[in-house]
């Protein structure tokens, strides 16, 4: 999850008004934030093996070539 996925609460909104999914997301992100604060980033300062980096970049390129764009999906569903 990313910070952008965090539920947005207005000042007048209460926790009781959240959906179950929003509450779970809020709890998950809060716990993740606290763990990173207390433990730090375990990968900070480490370097990636050049061979592994090459493999990851190749996988990323391959997945981009075989994927379907959002625009294509929207067109197929008639939502464009």
In terms of pTM, does the model score above 0.85? no
Residue 5 pLDDT: 52
Q: Where are the domains of the chain?
A: 1-46, 47-80
Question: What is the per-residue pLDDT across 17-66, written as a single tens digit (0 to 9) for each?
Answer: 888 888 898 899 899 899 988 998 888 889 989 999 999 999 888 877 67
Average pLDDT for 7-16: 74
Residue 55 pLDDT: 93
CA–CA separation, 63 vs 66, rounded Å?
5
Structure tokens at 44: 């900070």
Residue 22 pLDDT: 84
């Amino acid at each position: 999850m990313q910070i952008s996925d965090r539920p947005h609460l207005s000042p007048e909104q209460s926790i009781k008004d959240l959906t179950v999914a929003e509450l779970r997301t809020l709890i998950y992100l809060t716990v993740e934030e606290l763990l990173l604060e207390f433990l730090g980033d375990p990968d900070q300062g480490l370097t990636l093996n050049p061979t592994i980096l090459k493999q990851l970049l190749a996988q990323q390129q391959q997945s981009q070539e075989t994927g379907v764009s959002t625009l294509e999906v929207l067109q197929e569903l008639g939502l464009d």
